[in-house]
Every structure is written in structure tokens, then in C-alpha cells.
Amino acid sequence: MPSDAPAPAAKPFGSVFGKYMASAVFDGEAWSNPAMVSTKELVLHPGTHALHYGSSCFEGLKAHRQPDGTVRTFRASRHADRMHSSAQRLMLPPPPPHLFETMVNETVANNAAVTPEPPGSLYLRPTLLGTEQNIGAAARPSRTALFYVLASPVGQYFSGGPLRLAIETKLPRTTPQFGMVKTGANYAMALGVLHEAKQRFGADQVLFAPSGYVEETGAANFLVLAGDTIVTPPLSEGYLHGVTRDTILSVATTLGFSVDERPLGVPELLELASSPDTEVVLSGTAAIVAPVGTLIHEGTEHVVGGAEHGSRTAKIRAHVTDLQQGIVARPEGW
């Protein structure tokens, strides 16, 4: 069935919404059966736990139109697992992975008609909120919760060219215990740092490298394509375990890359980046891979690699989009 979706490309990513979302509540003991509801304003009590004490987390994944016209999610189970662990860290009732996947699939089915043709897709935003109405509950978790899956038809995410990244070695993106949690406060914490880097250096993003070792940016993972080796920091509790990062590393060998997961200090990064054979990219669900053109360290600009390149970045992007769009077969369970 071809899409009858209006092209969302003209609107900013994430600002157009599908009409339907799956929704379920946890009443303190069990999850309700999911319902399909209209995407409209939520009715929340002003004393809702999430509004005061930050008990909320979310996921971000995509569903893509396949060659036979059906719409299929990409690696939803991995996102279900990540939300489960985010919820546990926030002391929220975790939606069981089968509930997560059922609600994501139902949301996709109900919004399939507005899912654009590739390179567009349906971006999905599963969201979990602590809903207990109690402003005296700062020191204990919300007993109740709301879980919904919002849908947004999106076009291709254009970054507008290679990014300028300011390297931040003093401030962390978030606290150590929340690095791998996808919760709003982490993004709020990075905003001021990003704002300053934009003002001072015209930076697009900040690469957080607390203690001098690279972690990630405010909303993406970080990879260096040094010749045919992908160098990236090893997973730690300090940063978000990106599904796109995992996808890239999983298919690296097929694409002729070797993978070197190791701590990457800023001096070594700058040295690697100066080689004409190096490309630097950010990875994430929205953009898949976004090329980095300039690293800014202590006010000095370092241009990445040679001028006109990007063939390795393009090769990775093409393979990941082929997997997502069902043009090449996916590994079992993806």
C-alpha cells in the first residue's frame, strides 16, 4: 500500500504528529491493557510526580516503509530493553518489553497511512511518566505511571553539512549514575553548555570528554573512522548505549571495517582527526550518521581529515538504511 502521507520534510523533525498513540497506565499493581487514543493534550494533575521530581524517561526509534509497502520497526526490542533499564534506574515501573513492543506495533499500524516513503520514516517516541499526585513524594518513587507511544512522520534528517563540535573536558553531560538513562534532565543539563559553545565558537554540538576522555555529544554517540578502523569509546555507565552505534559496530566487518573500542583521549583524537584518511561521525536514530567537519578544542579549530571525503560515512549510512528499509536482509531479531 503506497503512503498517502504529505511530505513532512518541510517541517522541522519531530514537529508533525500521527493522529493515534497507544497508551497504558500502571495503577500501582499492574499495567492496564493498552488503548489506542487520539494524539492530543494530556490531562495531568498539577501535582504529578514527573512534573516536579523528574520521574520520566523516553525512547526514540523508527519504523520504515518496506519494499512490499508494509511499515516495520527497526530493532524495537533493543529499545524496549533500554527503556526497561532507564525505568529501573528512575525507580519507575518498567513497561514489560512485550507491552512496549505491542504498543509500538499498534501505534505503527494505526499511523501507517501517514508514514512517508523512504528516506522518510515514522519516528516513535515511547514515553513513561510517574503520575502519582503528591508533591510531598520527593524522596520516594511514583507508585503510578503513564506509558504512551507518540508517533511523528519525519523526512530525512539533514544536518546542513559537516558539524562543528566543541570539545568540553571539564563539565560532564550528566551524572555518572544517569549516563545510560534516557531521561529529560540529562538533556536539560547539556543545554547551557551547548548554548555557550554556540555563542563562543559557533558550535553545532558539544562533545563531552570529562577527564580528557571522549564520551558522547548531547544527543548522539561518537565514532572515528580511522582508515578502515572504527575507533569508539567502550560502553560504560557514563553514556547512552546507542542502538545505532551498536548497529554500526555489528555490521562493521561486513563493510570491511575493524572495530577498536577503547578509551580515546582528546590529544589522540586530535591527532587521528588530522590524518587525511580519517572521518569523524556522530551516530543516532534521527540522523543515522552525521559527519563532523571541525573539532574545536580550547578555542582552536581542528579540521577533520582531508577536505572532500566522506565515502566511508556514506557507505555506513547506505548499509544501515538498506537494513532499515528491507533492501538487505536483517540479522535475526532486528
Ligand X SMILES: Cc1ncc(COP(=O)(O)O)c(C=O)c1O
Q: List all residues 6 or more positions away from 164 whose beta carbon is below 8 Å from its beta carbon.
A: 201, 202, 203, 204, 205, 292, 293, 294, 296
b/e map 85-99, b = 16+ CB within 10 Å: ebbebbebbbbebeb
Contact 266, 167 (CB under 8 A): yes
Of positions 230, 243, 266, 281, contacts ligand X by CB under 6 A: 243
Of 38-46, 121-129, 229-237, 239-247, which part binds ligand X (CB under 6 A)?
239-247
Q: Judged by CB, which is closer to ligand X: 52, or 330?
A: 330
Residue identified by cell 566543541 is: 166
Least distance between ligand X and beta carbon 106 (Å): 22
Task: Please count the residues of this chain forming the interface with ligand X, following the rule CB under 6 A.
Answer: 13
CB count in 10 Å sphere of residue 158: 11
**E-strand spans in the chain?**
20-26, 35-38, 56-58, 61-65, 71-73, 121-130, 145-154, 163-168, 205-208, 221-226, 229-232, 258-261, 278-284, 288-297, 300-303
Q: Is 242 an interacting residue with respect to ligand X (CB under 6 A)?
A: yes
Rounded to 5 degrees, what angle do the CA atoms 47, 48, 54 make? Answer: 115
Q: Does 86 bind ligand X (CB under 6 A)?
A: no
Please state the closest distance from residue 36 (CB atom) to ligand X, in A. Answer: 25
> In this structure, what C-alpha cell is assigned to residue 231?
575507533
Within residues 273-332, the interface with ligand X by CB under 6 A covers 283-285
Question: At closest approach, how far in Å is the CB of 222 from ligand X?
Answer: 9
Q: Tell me whether residue 44 or residue 171 sits nearer to ligand X (CB atom).
A: 171
- Taking CB under 6 A as the criterion, the residue among 124, 214, 220, 273 binding ligand X is 220
- The residue (of 283 and 325) whose beta carbon lies closer to ligand X is 283
- Residue 18 contacts ligand X per CB under 6 A: no
Helix residue ranges, H only, 60-183: 76-89, 97-110
Nearer to ligand X, 142 or 221 (CB): 221
Region binding ligand X by CB under 6 A among candidate stretches 5-13, 243-251, 271-279, 303-311: 243-251
Residue 281 bridge partners (DSSP): 223, 291
The answer to the question of residue 240 lying near ligand X (CB under 6 A) is: yes
Cα–Cα dist 37/111, whole Å: 12
Closer to ligand X by CB, 112 or 219: give it: 219
Cell of 299: 578555542
Cell of 229: 578502523
The answer to whether the beta carbons of residues 149 and 122 sit under 8 Å apart is no
Please report how close the Cβ of residue 109 comes to ligand X at its closest, in angstroms. 23
Q: Quote the least distance from Cβ 75 to ligand X, whole Å.
A: 9
Among 8, 34, 60, 126, binds ligand X (CB under 6 A): 60
Of the pair 34, 60, the CB lying nearest ligand X is at 60
Min separation Cβ 283 and ligand X, Å: 6
Q: Which is nearer to ligand X, 108 or 207 (CB)?
A: 207
Q: Is 219 among the residues that bind ligand X (CB under 6 A)?
A: yes
In the bound state with ligand X, the residue whose beta carbon lies nearer, of 72 and 182, is 182
Residue tagged 528491507 (cell numbers):
326
Binding site for ligand X (CB under 6 A): 60, 216, 219-221, 240, 242-245, 283-285
